[in-house]
Copies of this chain bind each other. A is one copy, B any other.
Amino acid sequence: MIGCDDPAEPGKVGLTTAASDEAEFLRRYDAARYEKPSFTVDLVIFTVRDEHLHVLLVKRAEHPFKGCWALPGGFLDPRRDASVDACAARKLIQETGVRTPYLEQLKTYGSRDRDPRGWTATTVYFALMASESVRLLGNQAEASWVGVRGDQVDFELAFDHAQILADAVDRLRSKLEYTHIAVHLLPEEFTLPELQRIYEIILQQPLDKSSFRRRVIQADMLEELTGKQRDGFGRPAQLYRFRDYGRRTFFPRSISRHAR
């Protein structure tokens, strides 16, 4: 079982260098430092491999939580990043090399005690990608795909990242119900049985083949690649490609349908 070498050290403040001669300087420096919370961007990057949902984690090289697994991310750099979205996209490319996956803002977590160094806020994004499309870059730190069981991994995570992961899994599951984001967990061309398998893995329950196909086809979000099929055992399956007409739903029922 993997754990944290360095669990939280509350109270310890991470000012590494300080010109200690001028009290006034320090007072104002600290004021500037603490008038704003530290601001970071973290990523929950999902993929499906080996019949299981996986999330990308990195091993922390620095205190706090040194040696502990954590979500990839880090400080926003106001000089490089034109926006929070741009910062998230930059970090995603850094970690995975993937430029155009599904990337959506999840939520911002900010509080006085989520980091032992003091007040921090992190805006978390969640990303979906096909496992085939990724080459882990691990530029700075050891990075690895980790299987998700239920809504958590098998070991402790740094900071409040376990809660963040649980929220992200929750969002992923609920968005599966009314959007087509699952297609982003597959390569550009895929078959309906493959798509159904993604649903079954993430929702953790078997789905009915004919109902699934009816809904997906009727939503008219998939383009049939005429002539192209994927071979394997048994009858070859028809290949499809996702086409995005803005958001649409698989599911014809919503309260608006009560209109008369």
Contacts and interface: CB of A to CB of B under 8 A. Distances in A.
Contacts of A123: 108, 110, 121, 123
Contacts of A199: 255
A178 B254 contact: yes
Contact of A256 (B29, B35, B203, B259): B203
B258 A207 contact: yes
A84 B105 contact: no
Interface string A181-224: 00000000000000000010001011110011001000000000
Nearest to A83: B111
Interface stretch (A36-44, A133-141, A232-240): A36-44
Across the A-B interface, give the 4 residue pairs with the lowest CB-CB distance, nearest first.
A83-B111, A84-B110, A32-B32, A78-B119
Interface of A: 19, 25, 28-29, 32-39, 76, 78, 81-86, 105, 107-113, 118-119, 121, 123, 176-178, 199, 203, 205-208, 211-212, 215, 250-251, 253-256, 258-260
